[in-house]
């Protein structure tokens, strides 16, 4: 198995408020996502080390990028976050592997930096109880 880079992703699409997938790869400069599992501590007083059980799966993401007001680009996808409550399919494909959870996007933060850059950050969390699974 060859090691690979994170260069040139083939898919990063996010549903807009009408549940239409939009390719926003060109507007995203970096992102972080995780698929953690909750744990329950079940350590008895008879143990000298921690004992845990795996619980529910989860997903979280934060997408960061450059503001783009063009039609069907980043701003069109995210501008409805404060005014709509819709689940959004996020499709991530890199190096032939796909993760496609349904998420709630919880904020659309715009930042105008001292140098004039206009950037955004959009966090999201798992919405529908379906275990996020790579294919």
Instruction: State the pLDDT confidence band at 1, using cuts at 50, 70 and 90.
Output: low
**Nearest residue to 62 (alpha-carbon basis) of 108, 129, 102:** 108
Q: Is the pLDDT of residue 9 over 70?
A: yes
Tokens linked to 63: 């997408």
Q: State both tokens at 84.
A: 């709509």
Q: What is the pLDDT of residue 115?
A: 97
Secondary structure, 3-state, 79-115? CCCCCCCCCEEEEEEECCEEECCEEEECCCEEEECCC
What pLDDT was estimated at residue 30? 96
pLDDT tens track for 55-88? 999 999 999 999 999 999 999 999 999 999 999 9
CB 55 within 8 A of CB 91: no
Per-residue pLDDT tens digits for 84-134: 999 999 999 999 999 999 999 999 999 999 999 999 999 999 999 999 999
Q: Give residue limits of the domains in the chain.
A: 11-126
Q: Strand, coil or helix: what is 47?
A: coil
Task: Give 15-30 pLDDT, tens digit per residue.
Answer: 999 999 999 999 999 9
């Amino acid at each position: 198995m060859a090691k690979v880079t994170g260069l040139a992703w083939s898919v990063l699409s996010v549903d807009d408020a009408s549940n239409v997938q939009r390719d926003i790869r060109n507007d995203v400069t970096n992102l972080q996502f995780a698929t953690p599992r909750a744990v329950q501590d079940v350590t008895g007083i008879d143990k000298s080390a921690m004992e845990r059980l795996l619980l529910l799966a989860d997903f979280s993401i934060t997408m960061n990028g450059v503001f783009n007001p063009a039609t069907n680009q980043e701003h069109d996808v995210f501008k409805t976050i404060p005014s709509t409550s819709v689940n959004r399919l996020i499709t991530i494909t890199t190096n032939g592997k796909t993760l496609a959870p349904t998420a709630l996007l919880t904020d659309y933060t715009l930042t105008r930096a001292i140098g004039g850059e206009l950037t955004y950050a959009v966090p999201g969390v798992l919405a529908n109880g379906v275990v996020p699974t790579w294919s």
